[in-house]
Structure 1
């Protein structure tokens, strides 16, 4: 592994002089091509959530992040397309061949480092306060394929592209794809027909492993009390499994 990391580091160093980043692009702005790829994987895996809709969601990453009034645009070399953002800070993307050809970026009116991005897959008729496991499985596939996670350095993000895929992350017990509830969590119970089980405490609050030193590198930075892991890899639980959330009591 050490030799592999050394080789990868050397490859990055050798290629660095030839990399050109346009002044209008932030290196952590979202790739339009990758987000369209996320939409494609949503269609390929519709069997997980046949009646679901897909939107993308903006969430705060820093305590100072203000999402109200945020604007988005798809920006390429010769194209700039506004992207409407709903009051709940979600949006959809239209396919545009010119934007794909120009490898456009999705640019927010806030610094991208202050935002967390997620896919939002919702099936109809899911009871309030619950999520459907098949929806979450599809959210993970879309989120990874679209490159929505933004909590690692440029170097290790390059390594991730070599060794990971949406399927490998979302189907692995240690895939560690974080989801966010609407409110602070005290517990999660799974219901699948006559089966039920409480998720262990390690499934809550990003596993309880974050420290002041590591938290700035997690996109759960200000959402830690809402962050959870779902057993999306465990096929003993069907796609119709419902997750019921127990809120933390108000102080």
Structure 2
């Protein structure tokens, strides 16, 4: 399965709408006109209820917010306004500078089956649950928090079905556990900056995450990006082993970003040196899975993500700058 959706894949629109969405998103006024992909107030409250039930076990002491992230090119993320709109109701929802917000429980909004409406086109943004446990160091994430983010996000309906890429999603969207607990789940999370490596910390070990955890696993190529909520966030996207109970809830994830210097002892790909060209790397390693980013940088993943014979073998990641020269590389030993 592939939630390269990962959540919030938007429903397909007609040709004219698709052309309009590809252009810079204009600011619009909040009105009481509901869009088919506006977020359901009832479903978001159900997500809040699931958080209340499961947080004491998975993320004791954690807090829940929701957060808005850009999905389409040209989306203005400043000055976003939100309202819960019903048949006779219009309740403003305060939005923090980081575009996070919380929802109040309102009996009338529930009764009128209200919708959460933004002064942006709903499909221009990605919606996420944001769960944070106390005591987690800045820049790190706790796996139990991420597990709960997936469950709350799916329960709250923050994922929209897209029949163009994921016709099979129809059944899954009604059952969050099928997404969040499936070994082949592909629920996407996002870092604050473009990411280069993810490391899992538990049981006194620090284990580099597989390369398939990065950049939607290389599965989303340029023609598919408009149908993925990672369209402008591909370089910040990652998966986490939320389905794997071998990693406890208190596992921590740390991140190396593209602009960070390589940490001491980080193994580079043999023969690949900073400043080499794409042609030189291809001559040395052969073709990999190329993942281009909007700023011109590009990551090459080895073995190719479509090579099923490569299971368990060493993995290579090479990052190129916008000029096509190596910035850094990383060797990950094969799984035993």
Seen in structure 2, the aligned counterparts of structure 1 residues 240 and 218 have a Cα distance that, compared at 3 Å, is same
Q: Is the 8 A contact 1:151 1:217 kept in 2?
A: no
**Among 227, 240, 258, which residue is 1:248 paired with?**
258
- Tell me how far apart the structure 1 counterparts of residues 167 and 41 of structure 2 sit (CA, whole Å): 17
3-state SS, counterpart of residue 222 of structure 2:
coil
The equivalent residue for 2:82 is 72
The equivalent residue for 2:52 is 43
**Among 216, 238, 241, which residue is 2:248 paired with?**
238
Seen in structure 2, the aligned counterparts of structure 1 residues 207 and 120 have a Cα distance that, compared at 3 Å, is same
**Among 98, 102, 107, which residue is 2:112 paired with?**
102
Structure 1 residues 6-55: Cα deviation after superposition (integer angstroms, max 9, x where no partner): xxxxxxxxxxxxxxxxx811001000000001001101111100110000
Aligned length: 229
Q: Which ranges of structure 2 fall in alignment gaps of 5 or more residues?
A: 1-31, 261-320, 322-336
Q: Is the 8 A contact 2:162 2:227 kept in 1?
A: yes
- Tell me how far apart the structure 1 counterparts of residues 92 and 168 of structure 2 sit (CA, whole Å): 29
The equivalent residue for 1:186 is 196
- Tell me how far apart the structure 2 counterparts of residues 140 and 243 of structure 1 sit (CA, whole Å): 16
Name whichever structure is richer in helix by fraction: 1
Structure 1 residues 62-112: Cα deviation after superposition (integer angstroms, max 9, x where no partner): 120111101000000011100000011000000111111111100000010
**Among 229, 232, 248, which residue is 1:219 paired with?**
229
- Tell me how far apart the structure 2 counterparts of residues 41 and 157 of structure 1 sit (CA, whole Å): 26
- Tell me how far apart the structure 1 counterparts of residues 218 and 259 of structure 2 sit (CA, whole Å): 19
**Does residue 195 of structure 1 match 2:224?**
no
- Tell me how far apart the structure 2 counterparts of residues 239 and 135 of structure 1 sit (CA, whole Å): 8
Seen in structure 2, the aligned counterparts of structure 1 residues 216 and 151 have a Cα distance that, compared at 3 Å, is farther
Structure whose CA Rg is larger: 2
3-state SS, counterpart of residue 213 of structure 1:
helix
Q: TM-score, normalised by structure 1?
A: 0.86
Greater relative contact order (Cα < 8 A, sep 6+) = 1
The equivalent residue for 1:25 is 34
Aligned ranges 1:13-162 → 2 under 5 Å: 24-46=33-55, 47-150=57-160, 152-153=162-163, 160-161=170-171
In the TM superposition, residue 153 of structure 1 has moved relative to its aligned partner by 4.3
In the TM superposition, residue 164 of structure 1 has moved relative to its aligned partner by 4.5
Q: Which ranges of structure 1 fall in alignment gaps of 5 or more residues?
A: 1-22
- Tell me how far apart the structure 2 counterparts of residues 109 and 130 of structure 1 sit (CA, whole Å): 32
- Tell me how far apart the structure 1 counterparts of residues 36 and 143 of structure 2 sit (CA, whole Å): 33
Seen in structure 2, the aligned counterparts of structure 1 residues 105 and 158 have a Cα distance that, compared at 3 Å, is farther
- Tell me how far apart the structure 2 counterparts of residues 199 and 35 of structure 1 sit (CA, whole Å): 31
Q: Is the 8 A contact 2:72 2:124 kept in 1?
A: yes
- Tell me how far apart the structure 1 counterparts of residues 105 and 259 of structure 2 sit (CA, whole Å): 43
The equivalent residue for 1:12 is none
Q: TM-score, normalised by structure 2?
A: 0.65
